[in-house]
Amino acid sequence: MTKASNDKTHFGYQEVPIHEKANRVADVFDSVANKYDLMNDLMSLGMHRLWKRFAIDQAAIRPGQIILDIASGTGDLAAEFAKKVGKQGLVVLTDINETMLEQGRQRLTDAGIVANVRYVQADAESLPFPTHYFDCISIAFGLRNVTDKMAALRSMYRVLKPGGKVLILEFSKPVLPLLNTIYDKYSFTVIPKLGEWICGDAQSYQYLVESIRMHPAQDDLKKMLEDAGFEDVTYHNLTGGIVALHKGYKY
């Protein structure tokens, strides 16, 4: 669900005015940006690296392609895409949050990845790029933070080339009842504590846990992608559905 009521939306479990959500999400990521990678390793027990590797493999990027990585954060996917597109290709990193985008810029620059990457601070709901421009679009663990998810999906569809693909890697709904129970207990007890110990900020990680629970389930997100115009939409459950990778095409 994108909107909670006529003029409100969800910020975790809270209902807030639509115009406030982007600023609240920005505050969260401003707070956690400098410990973002460390927290990802701790929270997922390192599994996020395997999830991202699967997404990178599924993207099947080729030399010379133009790639858009939305909500790029510290640039995990973008760095690998840049290696694959080579000197003739281009990877555009976007994030609505300036602090997170700068983290990605610093990380890729330190890795020597500078010639074929660009950085654009942008809102996924209204991407500032030409129509039919990108060969592939990815967004990893970012869609759940978008206020109007359908607007973002339609914006992605517009800027994707015919024949191109979109990949959405996101926390989802565990498909095993026992796993769901364990996952809930871990999420609501351990993750905010980790946020408090590592970042001095339990509240931001409480929001992140709640935002996962408010995100559409696998089949619901598949339907949203189809409604946005994507075809041949499929998804892969990873780690029992804790994470899912959705893939769709524009023809």
State the residue range of the domain holding 117: 49-171+218-249
Asked whether residue 93 is domain-assigned, the answer is yes
Asked whether residue 81 is domain-assigned, the answer is yes
Asked whether residue 237 is domain-assigned, the answer is yes
Asked whether residue 31 is domain-assigned, the answer is no
Asked whether residue 68 is domain-assigned, the answer is yes
Q: Which residues pair with 7 in a beta bridge?
A: none
Asked whether residue 121 is domain-assigned, the answer is yes
DSSP state of 171: E
- Which backbone phi and psi does 65 adopt, to 5 degrees? -80, 160
Asked whether residue 9 is domain-assigned, the answer is no
Mean pLDDT for the stretch of residues 102-130 = 96
Do 97 and 30 form a contact (C-beta atoms < 8 A)? yes
The pLDDT-based confidence of 158 (bands split at 50, 70, 90) is very high
Do 118 and 92 form a contact (C-beta atoms < 8 A)? yes
CATH number of the domain where residue 235 is located? 3.40.50.150
Do 16 and 9 form a contact (C-beta atoms < 8 A)? yes
Question: How many domains does the chain contain in total?
Answer: 1
What is the maximum span of the chain, computed from C-alpha positions, in angstroms?
A: 48
pLDDT of residue 28: 65
Mean pLDDT for the stretch of residues 77-85 = 97
The pLDDT-based confidence of 165 (bands split at 50, 70, 90) is very high
* Full-model pTM: 0.87
Asked whether residue 3 is domain-assigned, the answer is no
| Per-residue 3-state assignment (H helix, E strand, C coil) for 9-35 | EEECCEEEEHHHHHHHHHHHHHHHHHH
